[in-house]
Amino acid sequence: MKNAGREFIEHTRYPDFTTVDLIQRVPEPPFELAVPEGSKVIKLPGPKRIKVPDVAVREAIEKWEPVGFFSRSSITFKELSFLLWCTQGFRKIVSEHIMLRNVPSSGSRYPIETYFVVGEVDGLNTGLYRFLPRSHSIVVLREDSDLPFAMGTASMNFKVVTRAAVTFLWVGIPYRSTWALGNRGYRSVLIEAGHICQALIMASACIGCEVHPIDLFHDELVRNIANLDPETQWPVYIGAVGKTEREL
């Protein structure tokens, strides 16, 4: 596809009401993926009860820089809860169809699902999990000590991901956006992944961690790790959280 970028812009111009299922009264897609039958769900600590140091916005922005490696490090269960809430958590539910989270979303569609691979999080086994924002919980998808190595290979960042405390995988569900916005919604998926990663960078500064964003990865390998449907679920962005200085 020689002109893939130009074609993407042309086909996602707004408004194009012929591509909007909302207007055609097609049933609305769910805001959250279903929990697999028989899976274990773990309630996270309430975000209002979690105390973290205050870090100035300027300090958090100026401190961040790309990192080439992490030392082996860990975060607490409460710190994980804080990061998840800052990046995708609910602040207010007005109605079934109107909600406010900590990151913006075009049309309040929130097309991103947060998966994550645990390396070293107190109280959690190494494995693959997914965040459930509405209930502020996580679902255990697979416990496997080899997953950080698999994700390190898939993301081409072995020295970062295999030593990260946690590696977030943001998965786009495009139909949540295109249902209401038509083809324009495809742009929203990509833009909102950037909002989420920036929120992670800011939140991680409060717990003394750094973030390594990863946008170059092997799509097929990542899809296999998270068992994603290639037609409806797209891996978009990865963010590894850890520390460059060895913990004492």
What is the domain partition of the chain in residue ranges?
A: 4-39+53-242
Query: Which residues does the chain have with pLDDT short of 70?
Result: 1, 96-98, 246-248
Cα–Cα dist 205/213, whole Å:
14
| pLDDT for position 16 | 82
Query: What architecture is the 4-39+53-242 domain classified under in CATH?
Result: 3-Layer(aba) Sandwich (3.40)
- The two beta strands, 99-101 and 210-214, are unpaired
| pLDDT for position 93 | 73
| pLDDT for position 97 | 66
Are 46 and 84 contacting, i.e. CB atoms less than 8 angstroms apart?
no
Are 138 and 42 contacting, i.e. CB atoms less than 8 angstroms apart?
yes
128 phi and psi, to 5 degrees?
A: -110, 135
DSSP-assigned states of every residue in 146-158: THHHHHHHHHT-H
Are 81 and 36 contacting, i.e. CB atoms less than 8 angstroms apart?
no
User: Residue 47: what residue type?
Assistant: P
Are 47 and 149 contacting, i.e. CB atoms less than 8 angstroms apart?
no
Other CB atoms closer than 10 Å to residue 26's CB: what's the count? 11
What count of Cα atoms within 13 Å lies in the side-chain half-sphere of residue 220?
0
Q: Which alpha helices (H) appear in 157-233, and where do they start and end?
A: 158-161, 174-181, 185-206, 219-226
Q: Which long-range contacts (CB under 8 A, 24 or more apart) does 6-13 make?
A: 8/186, 11/183, 12/183, 12/184, 12/186, 12/187, 13/183, 13/184
User: Residue 194: what residue type?
Assistant: G
Q: How many helices and strands in the chain, by DSSP H and E? A: 8, 9
